[in-house]
Amino acid sequence: MTTDKLVAVLMLTATMMLPTGCGGVNNALTSKKQTVEYYRIYNLATDAGKQAVGKAASDGLGRNTSNINTTMPIPASAELPEKPGRFKITDPMAGTKLGALASMSGGLGFKTAECEGAAWTAKAVRTVSGSNTLNLSTCLFQYKGGYHLDMYATFTKVEGGLSEISRQMAYAAVGTPEEWVEKTFNDVLLKIREQTGAEITYLEGYPEPGPLPWLDQGDRAGQPASPKPGT
C-alpha cells in the first residue's frame, strides 16, 4: 500500500467516525450498490490461427478471473467475411416481471453480450466477497483482415455500510473495481500480443481507455510490460 493511499484510507476512517449528525451517520452506514458497464473493441492484425488467439485471450482472462467458460463454434462458412462481426447487448429477462423488478431496483437488468458469428467466445467471473462482482464476456470475430476483439464487462460494487472502512483499505492495497476491470482488459491484450505478435489497435469503447498497456509503461520498443494495478 502506498503512503498516499494509506493516508486517504485513514482520512476516510476519521471522517466516518466524526459526529456529523444523524443524517450523515445514516448515510455513511447505508449499504449501496452500483452497477457499471464497460466495453472495448480492438482490431488484431495477425496471421495467427483462432486457436492461438483464443488461448492467449483465455490466458489473459485467467490472471484476474475464475470460472472461465470458452467456446469455439463451428464456422457457418469456410470463407472469411470481409467485415468482422460485432457483439450485441441483450436482456433475456426484458419484458418479464423479474426484469422489471431488476430495472426498478436501479440495476442494469440481466444484460449479457451475444457473440453471434464469433470464432471464439469466453465468459468469466471475478467475485470479491462483500465488495463487487465482475462479469466479463469476450467475443473474437475473425475476418479477412485479422480479428476484432470485443469485450463487455459489468460489475456491481457495494459502497457504505459497516464494512466500508475495510473495503477501502482493500481497494488501497489491491485496486478498485474499476482498476481491476481495466487490468483484466489489459492482461488479455498483453497475452495476445505476447503469444501471437498481433498489432493491436483500439477502435471504440466506454469509458474511454488510457494508452495501450505497453505504451502506458513507456515501452515503445515492442516489449510488453506488466499493467497496473500490481499483479
Task: Read off the CATH number of the domain in which 45 is found.
Answer: 3.30.160.110
Among 158, 200, 218, which residue's Cα sits nearest to residue 60?
200
Domain-located, residue 179: yes
* Residue-range definition of the domain harbouring residue 108: 3-207
Strand partners, 120: 140
Sign of the torsion formed by the C-alpha atoms of 129, 180, 199 and 114: positive
Asked if omega into 92 is within 30° of 0 (cis), the reply is no
Tally of structural domains, the chain: 1
135 within domain boundaries: yes
pLDDT digits (tens, 9 = 90+) for 16-59: 444 444 555 455 567 667 788 999 999 999 999 999 999 999 99
Could you read off the pLDDT of 115-148 as tens digits, one per residue? Answer: 999 999 999 988 766 556 789 999 999 999 999 9
222 is a domain residue:
no
Q: What is the pTM of this model?
A: 0.73
Look at residue 15 and tell me if it is in a domain: yes
Question: What region, left, alpha or beta, does residue 44 occupy, with left being phi > 0 and alpha being psi -120 to 50 degrees?
Answer: beta
Cβ-count burial of 110 within 10 angstroms (0-12 exposed, 13-18 middle, 19+ buried)? Answer: middle
Model confidence over 190-219: pLDDT tens digits? Answer: 999 999 999 999 999 999 888 888 875 544
